[in-house]
């Protein structure tokens, strides 16, 4: 079990908070008073329990026809309505232990009071794991009554309810409970200072209950209530809208519309990204097809595996030829030498191909004479030779195919 700190709300008149420390075994390891500035140090690494005044909380029992907690929570306000002096809508209900016979241990507190406590513990920087009324720290048992007190305050679990009041009034409360009880309890356990215990035993002797177990106890009431809790309180007020998970839910609910809009926006952005991805994939496929077609038009022979790589290899060969391997045509020289003649206004280039160390050109000219002038202009420098492979007239133009090579000395 983790170490725990139990502190009391509200703060004392001087602004300090009474607290008790429990070690890993649930035993009281310390007690004192601390200002709000000291609380973070005391809270660090410890499970936090808050004890609130029992005078503000009704702790009682009621018989219910079901043991399902969800249904009990729904029906509890109506089951207790006759015992309440305030409107049900103004009250906060908490469910404690549920007995096998359907007896439900419950607590009721004004919502306004609960809100006041919550504001105080939040202002102190506290996130409690449980909020326990003083009279909810000691379980209610119809056959076994319990009284825990110090010199100032007392908590009494009597029959079907539990109360917190001043110690000097404890004997009167026990006397009234004995008078109202249809049968006296089987036993009464008293844990109180000697003076308080003596008064209580005197009243019980007249009321003729069963065994009375009295144990003299000194020290503050809070420390002994903390020891009585030992991990799980009899009744925890942090339920419903005040439950730890539910309190975060109250923060979350106003944000739901904005979160929904954010989700729609994210979904729309995702859809746009997916659409863009498909568009780019289609564009990439189209470009790959165009590259392959350009390669096939330029180099019709051979198998196409990776047109970009194969095109790069052909271009590297065109830049360097095979001269480094012992001679051969330098295609860049062919292109450079033929370019001025092929740029004339009399012709229209249809295609250029690098093939077998030569430049193959398909073109259109006005007439045969224009084609001859192109050939003569290319061969004029003496570095290139032109082979006219075909020349045919069509629709008033002449289509020709030339093979241009470097002259080998």
Whole-angstrom distance, CA of residue 170 vs CA of residue 185 = 17
Whole-angstrom distance, CA of residue 28 vs CA of residue 4 = 9
Instruction: Work out whether strand 347-355 and strand 130-133 pair parallel, antiparallel, or are unpaired.
Output: unpaired
List average pLDDT for each run of 10 residues in the chain, which is 409 residues long: 87 91 86 89 90 92 90 92 90 92 92 94 89 88 89 89 90 89 88 91 82 86 82 78 64 69 88 88 84 74 74 64 44 76 80 80 88 87 87 87 83
Q: How confident is the model at residue 85, as a pLDDT?
A: 86
Whole-angstrom distance, CA of residue 134 vs CA of residue 226 = 10
Q: How many residues does the chain have?
A: 409
Whole-angstrom distance, CA of residue 194 vs CA of residue 198 = 6
Q: How confident is the model at residue 113, as a pLDDT?
A: 96
- Just give the CATH number of 312-406: 3.30.1360.100
Q: Could you tell me the residue ranges of all domains in the chain? A: 4-242, 256-298, 312-406
Q: Which two three-digit tokens encode residue 155?
A: 């908590």
| pTM > 0.85 | no
Among the listed residues 192, 191, 193, 212, the one whose alpha carbon sits nearest the alpha carbon of residue 203: 212
- Just give the CATH number of 4-242: 3.30.420.380
Region of 392 on the Ramachandran plot (φ > 0 left; ψ -120 to 50 alpha; else beta) = beta
| DSSP notation for 362-390 | EEEESSHHHHHHHHHHHHTTSSEEEEEEE
Query: Which CA distances in Å does 378 have to 147, 239, 260?
Result: 122, 98, 74
Whole-angstrom distance, CA of residue 66 vs CA of residue 55 = 29
Q: Which residues contact 9 (CB under 8 A, 6 or more apart)?
A: 17, 50, 51, 52, 53, 117, 120, 121
Whole-angstrom distance, CA of residue 143 vs CA of residue 187 = 7
């Amino acid at each position: 079990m983790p170490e725990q700190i139990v502190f009391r709300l509200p703060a004392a008149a001087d602004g300090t908070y009474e607290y008790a420390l429990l070690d890993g075994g649930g035993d009281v390891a310390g007690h004192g008073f601390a200002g709000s500035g000291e609380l973070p140090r005391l809270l660090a690494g410890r499970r936090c329990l808050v004890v609130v005044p029992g005078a503000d909380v009704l702790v009682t029992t009621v018989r219910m026809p079901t043991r399902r907690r969800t249904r009990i929570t729904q029906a509890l306000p109506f089951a207790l309505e006759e015992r309440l002096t305030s409107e049900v809508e103004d009250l906060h209900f908490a469910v404690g232990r549920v007995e096998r016979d359907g007896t439900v241990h419950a607590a009721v507190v004004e919502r306004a009071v609960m809100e006041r406590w919550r504001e105080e513990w939040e202002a102190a920087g506290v996130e409690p794991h449980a909020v326990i009324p003083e009279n909810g720290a000691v379980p209610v048992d119809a056959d076994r009554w319990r009284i825990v007190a110090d010199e100032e305050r007392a908590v009494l679990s009597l029959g079907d309810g539990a109360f917190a009041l001043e110690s000097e009034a404890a004997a009167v409360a026990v006397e009234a409970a004995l008078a109202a009880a249809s049968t006296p309890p089987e036993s009464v356990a008293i844990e109180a200072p000697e003076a308080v215990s003596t008064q209580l035993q005197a009243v019980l002797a007249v009321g003729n209950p069963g065994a009375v177990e009295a144990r003299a106890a000194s020290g503050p009431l809070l420390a002994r209530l903390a020891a009585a809790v030992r991990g799980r309180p009899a009744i925890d007020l942090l339920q419903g809208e005040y439950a730890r998970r539910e309190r975060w839910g109250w923060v979350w609910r106003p944000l739901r519309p904005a979160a929904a809009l954010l989700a729609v926006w994210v979904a729309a952005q995702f859809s746009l990204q997916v659409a863009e991805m498909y568009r780019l994939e289609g564009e990439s496929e189209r470009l790959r097809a165009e590259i392959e077609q350009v390669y096939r038009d330029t180099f019709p022979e051979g198998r196409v595996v990776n047109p970009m790589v194969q095109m790069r290899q052909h271009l590297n060969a065109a830049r360097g030829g095979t001269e480094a391997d012992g001679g051969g045509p330098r295609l860049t020289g062919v292109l450079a030498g033929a370019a001025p003649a092929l740029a004339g206004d009399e012709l229209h280039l249809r295609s250029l191909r690098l093939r077998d160390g030569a430049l193959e050109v398909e073109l259109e000219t006005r007439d045969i004479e224009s084609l001859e002038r192109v050939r003569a202009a290319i061969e004029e420098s003496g570095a290139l030779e032109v082979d006219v492979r075909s020349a045919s007239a069509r629709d008033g133009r002449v289509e020709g195919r030339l093979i241009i090579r470097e002259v080998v000395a």
